[in-house]
Amino acid sequence: MSIEPGTKPPSESITMALLAHLLGIFTSFVGPLVIWLVKKEDPFVNDQAKEALNFQITICIGYAIGTILVCFVIGYFIWLGLWVVSIIFGVMGTIAASKGERYRYPWSLRLIQ
């Protein structure tokens, strides 16, 4: 079952997709992963939870790189930048999902297809 472009997904799907983006802000990749594993049969939730999961995995990779670069001081700036970007894009994804729109993070590795 797929959602036709231009049609709004059911309210439960919207709520779960919204939670996938929102939980990503607070729980990193764990929240989106749980929602994706539980609700992946729903096309809208599957798409949005994978999108949030991919973004949070990308952020975790960035944090790992920042951790390595802490000894050169630039790592602290990387951590700060990633934290801000994670919050801003997570909120943008939450808002888009609350409207029933599909959101794509601009800087995200597509690891989970």
Q: What is the pLDDT of residues 60-71, one digit of tens each?
A: 999 999 999 999
| Closest to 56 (Cα-Cα) out of 17, 107, 92 | 107
Find the mean pLDDT for residues 20-30. 95
Q: Is pLDDT at 4 greater than 70 in this prediction?
A: no
Helix axes 43-68, 11-27, angle to 10 degrees: 10
pLDDT reading at 2 higher than 60: no
User: How many Å apart are CA 105 and CA 20, to the nearest integer?
Assistant: 13
* pLDDT confidence band for 80 (50 / 70 / 90): very high
Percentage of the chain lying above the pLDDT 70 cut: 95
Q: Is residue 6 pLDDT above 80, yes or no?
A: no
Q: How many CB atoms lie within 10 A of CB 54?
A: 20
pLDDT(52) > 70:
yes
Q: Once rounded to an integer, what is the mean pLDDT over residues 3-19?
A: 86
